[in-house]
Structures are given as C-alpha cells and as structure tokens.
Chains A and B, each alone.
Chain A
Amino acid sequence: DIQMTQSPSSLSASVGDRVTITCRASQGISNSLAWFQQKAGKAPKLLLYGASRLESGVPSRFSGSGFGTDYALTISSLQPEDFATYYCQQYYSNVRRTFGQGTKVEI
C-alpha cells in the first residue's frame, strides 16, 4: 500500500500569512495527488488535483506543487475562511486510495 505522510499535523497562523503543508508518499505517485479542505461539521471540498491543478471556483491563493514522492499545498495569504483541516490523497493506486493524516490550520 502507498502510505501518505502529511506534515505538520497542526499549525497556528495569522491572517495574511503564507502557509505550506507537505505530503510525502511512500513511493512515486506521478502527480496523482489531490488536496481537500474540510471545515468543522462539513464534507471535504476538493481544492486541487493532479498535484497542481486548481479546481474550478477555488481561490488562486491556493496552489500545489511537487513531483515524485513529495508534494506541497501553499496558501499564499491566509484568509479567515481558510481556517480548516486540510488533507492530501493519492489516487495513483487504482486498487487503494489513501489519505494523509490531515493538517489543522488554526489561529
């Protein structure tokens, strides 16, 4: 199975900060990586797919990068509505998708 190691597990930040969350796969996943945002009591929402492709309607302050086994989600200027938990998911394995452990972004 492909394991996804996400870090940090939580971080404190302020409005306007630049925030970066990383995800490392246990093997190469050829950019088959998605990022999700989940707010308390709500379903996850797709932010990016293909490691760096922004989902329609998602603000451009969100961006993704990486290749091989190492990937990152960056929020260029944190907004009040961005305080949430973020997850990465690999979908390189057609047999078994896996999520990272999540990163809680809080004030």
Chain B
Amino acid sequence: EVQLLESGGGLVQPGGSLRLSCAASGFTFSNYAMSWVRQAPGKGLEWVSVISGGGGGTYYADSVRGRFTISRDNSKNTLYLLMNSLRAEDTAIYYCAQEVNAYCAYWGQGTLVTVSS
C-alpha cells in the first residue's frame, strides 16, 4: 500500500525558511517522479514542483521558482521541499504526490504552512 507522510509545516515569519519532508513507503521510491501540490485556505489546487525518480530533473511553478528547491533522498525514501523567502501568499496545505506516468496517483494528507508575522 502506497503511503506518503508529510511533515515540517508550521508557522514562519515572512522572509523565513522552512523545509518540508515527505516519507514514502509501499513502493520502489526511486522508480517514480514526485510532486508537491499546495492549496491555500479556501482555494483550489496549485501545482508547485516535480522531481524525476533519479532526482536529475526538476521543474517549478513560476510562483515559486528561485525560492523553492525540490530534492529527494532515494536511500531514505524521502522527498523534500526547501522553501526560502516565504511570503504570506505561500500559506497553504502542502501535499506530496506520487506520479504515475506524470499524473498524481497517490497523495499524502498534507502539512500546513502558515506565513505570518
């Protein structure tokens, strides 16, 4: 059974940094691309970033490029999202998702990031 467990969310001041983690189990982690998707309070889903199975390919939404960095440690079956220069508009639930043929097949339960002074 695929399981994805996000952690690392919390309250951070504008301009601050936070690193999210997503622990994966139930599948061969290195065989799958992984994505981060976020959802601001009361809003729709926004794709944030994707990383290939080997970690060599990464892509970002325009809204986070240059501030966020996606990475993975296949030896630990863990996905990361390093978020720098955080803004109020980054406040959201952040989900990690396993990609199967480029669509998000399985999702974690999410971790809440609140950017506020």
Tell me whether A101 and B107 are in contact (CB under 8 A).
Answer: no
Q: Which range contains the number of B residues in contact with the other chain?
A: 20 to 34
Is chain A's binding surface mostly helix, strand, loop or mixed? loop
Chain A proximity of B109: nearest CB distance (Å): 5
Interface code A74-107, partner B: CB below 8 Å = 1, 0 otherwise?
0000000000000101010011111111100000
A99 touches B45 (CB 8 A): yes
Contact: B105 with A46, CB < 8 Å? yes
Closest to B61 in A: A96
Q: Which residue of B lies closest to A95 (CB)?
A: B59
Q: How far is the CA of A100 from the CA of B38 in the complex (A)?
A: 14
Stretch at the interface among B15-23, B73-81, B84-92, B96-104: B96-104
Chain A residues with Cβ below 8 Å from B101 are: 49, 91
